[in-house]
Amino acid sequence: MTQNTTPTEFIAPNGTQFVMELDLTLARGLYTLQTGGTVTESANAAAINSLNTDSRVKYAYPVFANPTSGARHYLNKEIVVRMKAPITPDDVASFQQLGLQVADTLSSSDQIHVLRLTDPKNYNPFSVCSALLQNPAVLWDEPNMEQEGGALDFHPNDAKYGDQWHLPKVSAPSAWDLTLGSPGIRIAILDNGVIWQNNGMEITHPDLQPNIIQGYDFKDMDADPNPSTSGQFGDNHGTAVAGVAAALVNNNCVGNPPTCLGVVGMAPTCKILPVRVFQTDNGVHTFATPSHIYQALVYAADNADVINCSWSNSPSSTVSAGFSYAWNQGRGGKGCAVFCASGNSAAGEEVNGNLNSYETLQIYNIYNAVGQVDGTYRIGFQYKKDDRDTVPDDTVWLADITMPPPVDPLVQQHERLDSLTLPRDWMNDTSPSAHEPAALIRFMPTAQAFTRGGQQRFLMVNLPLC
């Protein structure tokens, strides 16, 4: 309802009493009014008709609700129409017969216009839309309703979410407004195992439990992808990787407002396919053969949509063949999205003599061979523990985009993340740089150019995910 005064209660001419429920836009004098008790559809229509006879009221319409979300929709005196051709004088005359005038043009090329009711008290927008569609020059029309949006930026109630500073950095809350992922999407975690069973009897990790599906161990060649050991010096890496990608959201909650268990993954409703391929020695060294990695990549490509590889290794034609199979033949021939951590060193640099994953894969020539197909770029992310002794040891750096020649102008080696540091008990390797975008890809079937630090970057182009 729209009027010129600000009521706390309102009595229609027929005696129906309303209480102001919501002042939608004070400057426009737009309000919702609520009657008391049980109201029938006929009584509601009579009350609205009565309001429209009141000289204080500009117009009054019923409030509608989306049956799925419950979001309310408010009619006003505007209609959006798309014409098949530019508006003619005959069209204007037909608009006037329905109490309409052209108020705005949204698109001249697409012939989309906003029409406004000149006498909204005596014309119902839905009825006018139905009548307008009888005009053969009209392609479609709809009421230009005020729509109640959902809460912006979904924020989990998981107890450790506040410590996960990386999630806002990649705009995860905005992505969660669109979707939390899909149980139909499987993320394969190729690593040193994921804690998920106890003596083969039950799934035990409380923050991963419903999301983990049966995987495989290509190190011991059995159906138990648990790490060989766990604890302070155990094989915890793969479990942490799985959590960054798809730990549950708002699970095991207590209290009001609720506090929920643990952390949240980037895609908390996607499934985790654990694929063990490495053996860790006291949490320091990992071991795997190229044949193990090849078999794991092929298995993941045949059983998952996205593959995460938070590790690096020396160049190998066998491993290169496994990556090529995943990219080109995974997902039934559609190709899998494959993400590798850049490593614990900056792009092209070494720490303790170790090449990073990107440099390893570039040596394979996989990027150069595959990267130009349909404009698709393979990219690398990097969270880097600084090794220059010029900043605190726990400073984290990010290489947003890492791509080989001939696209050197797009390569950005380092970017400081607003001087943020990791908590002392936080994982300080670069592996989240792979599994976070591995989950994020659920939200980005294609990529667009974006700007950071005043420079244009590209994330991903034309990767077929459906």
Report how far residue 126's alpha carbon sits from residue 141's, in angstroms, rounded to the nearest whole number.
10
pLDDT at 320: 80
pLDDT digits (tens, 9 = 90+) for 154-209: 889 889 998 888 788 778 888 888 889 999 999 999 998 898 765 555 557 888 88
Reference 70, options 142, 175, 180, 151; nearest CA is: 151
Looking at per-residue confidence, does 453 or 166 come out higher?
A: 166
- Could you tell me what percent of the chain has a pLDDT over 90? 28
Query: Rounded to 5 degrees, what angle do the CA atoms 284, 288, 294 make?
Result: 145
Which pLDDT does position 163 carry in this prediction? 86
User: In the predicted model, is pLDDT for residue 79 greater than 50?
Assistant: yes
* pLDDT score of 132: 95
CB 275: neighbour CB atoms within 10 A?
28
Say if CB 181 and CB 162 are below 8 A apart: no
Q: Nearest-5° angle of CA 383, CA 385, CA 389?
A: 145
Q: Which has more pLDDT, 25 or 449? A: 25
Read off φ and ψ for residue 390, nearest 5 degrees.
-105, -10
Check: CB of residue 339 under 8 Å from CB of residue 327: no
What whole-number distance in Å separates Cα of residue 397 and Cα of residue 85? Answer: 54
Angle (deg, nearest 10), helices 237-246 and 432-440:
30
- In order of their start, the domains of the chain are 2-60 (no CATH), 78-147 (3.30.70.60), 161-458 (3.40.50.200)
Q: What is the mean pLDDT of the chain?
A: 71
Q: Is the peptide bond before 206 cis (omega within 30 degrees of 0)?
A: no
What is the pLDDT confidence band of residue 31, given thresholds at 50, 70 and 90?
A: low
This prediction's pTM? 0.54
Do the beta carbons of residue 115 and residue 100 sit within 8 Å?
Answer: yes
Question: Which strands, in side-by-side order, build the sheet including 382-385?
Answer: 382-385, 395-399, 416-421
Residues 429, 284: contact at Cβ < 8 Å? no
Could you report the per-residue pLDDT of 423-452, keeping only the tens digit for each? 333 333 334 444 454 544 443 333 333 333
305: DSSP letter: S
pLDDT digits (tens, 9 = 90+) for 111-142: 999 999 999 998 889 999 999 999 999 999 99
Task: Provide CB contacts within 8 A for 449, sequence distance 6+.
Answer: 456, 457, 458
CA distance 217 to 275: 6
